[in-house]
Amino acid sequence: MRLVLLSLIILAVYLSHLNNVVKNEFSKDINTDALAFNQQPKVVINMLLIVEDQSFFNHPGVDFKEIARVVRDYTLYDKPLRGASTITQQLIKNTLLTRHRNITRKFKEALMSLLLEHSFDKEFILNRYLNTVYLAQDGNKEIRGFADAAEFYFNKQLNMLSLEEVATLVALVKGPSFYHPIKHPQRLDKRRQLVLSLYNKYEKIVK
């Protein structure tokens, strides 16, 4: 009984620590030039969510149903393991954790994602992601957020991009180096076509 009680106390202290880390980080102001949520083009929001996290507005930070599907497909149908990270988990990973993959980091990422969604609303989380996701490297400068990436790649404001240009940016979310437009144009084009096909196939999430 004492061991159980001690374990619960340790867990409570750990969760309180993680909660403070999350609140402190996401209470900070980011780039003053960042777009407000109502300034983000709906085509960008929809394309991102359709490709990366279709259940974003329905899950609590971790998509347990998607995780179950991945495990089912892997164990029963011999399909390769695929990612099941939500936008919230990606934001936590990109902001507070390393990219090193192990069970401990994934567990921490999941807990912090649940805590983030408990303290901040969906629009805040999605907008923070849209404004901070890494999309390019310009010398020593990181290009973060869709608005800055639109200027960097196309010399346009985000709301002036064509559907194909938006698809290019969403494709780059998967890996700006792996899908580098100059070094790997064919790889990027294949990913862009997949993004466009998914966008055309599924119902738009934000009307």
The confidence score (pLDDT) of residue 104 equals 85
pLDDT at 74: 52
Q: What is the pTM of this model?
A: 0.91
Residue 182 backbone phi and psi in degrees, to 5: -90, -45
Q: Amino acid identity of 117?
A: E
Neighbouring residues of 197: CB distance < 8 A, sequence distance ≥ 6: none
Which runs of consecutive H residues, i.e. helices, occur in the chain?
A: 2-26, 42-52, 64-76, 87-96, 103-119, 122-132, 146-154, 163-172, 185-201
- Whose structure tokens read 């390393």? 98
Check residue 77 and give its pLDDT: 55
Give the HSE-up count for residue 149: Cα atoms under 13 Å, Cβ half-sphere.
Answer: 25
pLDDT of residue 124: 97
Architecture of domain 37-52+61-201: Orthogonal Bundle (1.10)
The tens place of each residue's pLDDT in the chain, 207 residues long, gives 777 777 778 888 888 999 999 999 999 887 767 899 999 999 999 999 999 999 999 999 998 887 777 566 656 555 554 557 899 999 999 999 977 778 888 889 999 999 999 999 999 999 999 999 999 999 999 999 999 999 999 999 999 999 999 999 999 999 999 999 999 999 999 999 999 999 999 999 998
Q: Are strands 141-144 and 134-138 parallel, antiparallel or unpaired?
A: antiparallel
Any idea where the domains of the chain sit in the sequence?
Answer: 37-52+61-201
